[in-house]
Every structure is written in structure tokens, then in C-alpha cells.
Structure 1
Amino acid sequence: MFSKKKNTKIDVEQHELVENAQKRIAQKKKLYTHFVVFLIGSVFLILINKILKYGQEYDWFIWAITFWAFLFALHIFNVFITNRFMGKEWERSQREKLIRKQQERINEMQKDLDTQQPLEIEPKKKLY
């Protein structure tokens, strides 16, 4: 049978996978919600400008929709591009790289300390 350590490690990995999947689902859900709000909001902006004749002398809705579309494009880029390349694996590799660098610095500092002031080990004294 499996030992408890292996089961615990597998459980932790499965838990991380489920959490990552839930985060991705939440990101995509927010993106789709943003898209629906964008479409409805664009229609309302056009209606306000054209039907209600608010600021009729100038078609300001074009600039508002263009700006909103740009923000939506940034949202798409964040969900599908940035997150793919800078997801959990990228974070893990960056964390390991930083830990490795810190360990190397600690080792170098320890080596410098040892060469500057070698430890003098005193012989143990008999207590009797």
C-alpha cells in the first residue's frame, strides 16, 4: 500500500490542480461577463447619443466604445496570453530560481566568513 507521505503529496498536488482550475474558470467567467456588459453597454451608449439626442452634435459614443473595447482587449490579453506564459509553472520556476540565488549568496557569505575568521573549536573539558 501507499505510505501516508505519498498520499499527502498527491492530495496536495490534486488540491493545487483543482484550485488552479477554479481560478482559471473564474477568470474566464469574468471575461465573458465583461463581454456581455460591453455589448449591452455599447448599445446603451449608442441609444443615449442617437435616440435620446444627448450630445447629438458629436458622436461621442464611438470614442467611448473604442476606449472600452481597448480595455476589453487588455482583459482578453491578460486571461489568455499573460496567464498562459506567466501562470503557476512560471511562478514556481521564478521562485526556485530566487531561492537558488539566495542559497548561493548565503554559501558565498559563509565561505567568506570561514576564510576570514576560521572557527576555533575548543576541546571538550572533562567535567569530573
Structure 2
Amino acid sequence: MFSKTKKTERIDPEQREQYEYARARIKQKKRLMQHFIVFLVGSVLLIIINPVLGVGKEFFIQNWFVWAILIWVFLFLIHVFNVFITNKFMGKEWETRQLEKLKAQQSARITELKKQAVQEVTVAEVKAARPDEFPDTDSLKKNNPSNPTAENEL
């Protein structure tokens, strides 16, 4: 209780991320298995309800339970596709690649903006250092005959 040595194992962030990803995948697969079990039980119940108990004989479609089961199979196949196929194409590796790609684009844009800012500051410093070499842009606008607003300003 009052020992001087505390043994705590720390998990580095990469291992923690892998652990969280593994937990999420296990949870996906567990929900898929639950869906499969509910599908089996529900299908058996639908088969029992219609022919055995006679529920739904007044419907337009005689064997409606078959269509209900087919729709449910379709939904289950979408779930399987999402868990096993989509996750392989758009899994953790895909996310990481997309993140790196966006980071590279952002850093390229930031570098471009920095260059532009440095260039603008340099031009402003040169103009400030030698005002006689760079005429005032306002006076150029007023003397320019192609500028229609120059006449209104005079």
C-alpha cells in the first residue's frame, strides 16, 4: 500500500490506437453475429406465424413471409458487406492515408501563404525605404484617363 515503487505499465499512443481499433472491429463482428442470430430466429418465427398459425392469409400476397425473409436477407448481406468488404477498403489504413494526404495539402498551402506574405512584406519595406522611386498609387488613379472614377474624385 505504501511501497515506494509503483509498477504501472504505460501503453504508448500507437499501441493504444491499435487496441481501440481492434475493439471496434470486434464490436462490429459481434453485432453482425447478433444480427445473424436474430435473423435466424425471426425467419423461423415468420415461417411459423404464416403457414402454421394462419396469420396473414387475407393479404394480397399468399406467402408474404417469403418476401419478408428475402428483404431481411438483403439487409443482412448489406451488413456483411459493410463489416468485411467496405472496412478493408476504407479501414484504418485508408483513413491514415487520407489524413496524411490532407495534412500534406494543408502544409503546402500554408507554405504558399507564407511565401506570399513574405513577398508582400518585402515589397512594402522596399516601398517604404524608397518612396521617391514608387509613385503614389492614388495620384496615378486620378491622372489615369481610363479610370472613370478619377473624374468624380476631382
Letter in 1 for 2:89: F
Distance in 1 between the 2:118 and 2:111 partners? 10
- Give the alignment partner of residue 112 of structure 1, picking from 110, 116, 120: 116
Superposition CA RMSD, Å: 2.3
Q: For 1:24-63, list aligned pairs within 5 A.
A: 24-56=25-57, 58-63=62-67
User: In structure 1, what residue type is equivalent to 2:17?
Assistant: E
> Structure 1 length normalisation: TM-score?
0.79
Query: In structure 2, how many angstroms separate the alpha carbons of the residues matched to 1:16 and 1:109?
Result: 33
1:90-101 equivalences under 5 Å are 90-101=94-105
| Aligned residue number for residue 77 of structure 1 | 81
- Residue 18 of structure 2 corresponds to 17
The amino acid that maps onto 1:68 is: W
Is the radius of gyration larger for structure 1 or structure 2? Answer: 2
Give, as a single letter, the amino acid of the residue that structure 1 aligns with 2:53.
L
| Aligned residue in 1 for 2:141 | none
Residue type at the aligned position of 2:109: R
Runs of 4+ that moved beyond 3 A = none
Aligned length: 115
Q: Secondary structure at the match of 1:56?
A: coil
Tell me the SS of whatever aligns to 1:89.
Answer: helix
Q: Which amino acid aligns with 1:51?
A: V
Deviation at 1:42, TM superposition (A): 0.5
Identity %: 55
Q: Distance in 1 between matches of 2:65 and 2:121?
A: 74
Q: How far is the alpha carbon of 1:15 from its aligned partner?
A: 1.6
From the two aligned structures, give the one with the greater helix fraction.
1
Q: Distance in 2 between matches of 1:106 and 1:17?
A: 31
Measured after TM superposition, the shift of residue 89 of structure 1 is 1.2
Deviations 1:52-104 (A, max 9, x none): 21122511111111111111001101111111121111111101100111111
SS at match of 2:12: helix
Instruction: Return the structure number with greater relative CO, CA threshold 8 A, min gap 6.
Output: 1
Matches of 2:105 and 2:56 in 1, distance apart? 60
Which 10-residue stretch deviates more, 39-48 or 14-23?
14-23
Return 5+ residue gaps in structure 2 as ranges. 1-8, 126-154
